[in-house]
């Protein structure tokens, strides 16, 4: 909860990836709340009241996963809605010529996206596909698996696009720019 709140405030892309990681951890722990408390909650260096709040947040999230029937795979509706909102922003930025820097990054990435789309994926849009790729890279790094130079270059472009998109999202959220999408 503490990490999620901070990530949501600072970097919406990191927030999405963090929630996806928590979903997978809950699945790996088979929704065993004792294990979740020991492996996740107890690692926080906070007072006992804050640990109770964090533990409750994890219980609520695990319960939501059960209610939404995503205990085996899939993502919580609230995080899927966030990804969909980011995709709407992505499409809006592409439709406006003044965001030429975003257009340039997207045009560099577009051939890689087409290749990724041809692979078996449940991604519903380009931005979700980017998140799937970033999450996959994160998992490969956790396993200390190597990646090809081509994949590394593609991931740099994906990261750059998502970073720009996240920046625009936060500028809108903070009232720094106005964009209807």
**71-112 confidence digits (pLDDT tens):** 999 999 999 999 999 999 999 999 999 999 999 999 999 999
Hey, where are the domains in the chain?
Answer: 2-67, 77-173
| pLDDT of 46 above 70 | yes
Neighbours of 19 (CB within 10 A): 20
Structural tokens at position 50: 């804050």
pTM of the model: 0.92
């Amino acid at each position: 909860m503490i990490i999620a709140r901070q990530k949501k405030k600072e970097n919406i892309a990191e927030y999405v990836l963090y929630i996806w990681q928590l979903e997978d951890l809950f699945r790996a722990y088979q929704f065993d709340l004792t294990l979740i408390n020991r492996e996740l909650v107890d690692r926080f260096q906070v007072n006992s009241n804050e640990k109770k709040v964090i533990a409750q947040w994890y219980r609520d999230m695990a319960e939501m996963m059960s209610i939404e029937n995503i205990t085996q795979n899939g993502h919580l509706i609230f995080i899927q809605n966030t990804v969909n909102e980011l995709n709407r922003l992505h499409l809006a930025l592409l439709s406006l010529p003044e965001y030429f820097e975003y257009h340039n990054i997207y045009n560099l990435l577009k051939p890689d996206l087409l290749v990724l789309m041809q692979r078996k994926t449940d991604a519903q849009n380009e931005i979700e596909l980017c998140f799937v790729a970033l999450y996959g890279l994160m998992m490969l790094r956790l396993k200390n698996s190597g990646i090809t130079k081509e994949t590394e270059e593609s991931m740099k472009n994906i990261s750059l696009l998502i970073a720009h998109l996240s920046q625009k999202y936060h500028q809108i959220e903070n009232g720094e720019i106005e964009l209807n999408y």
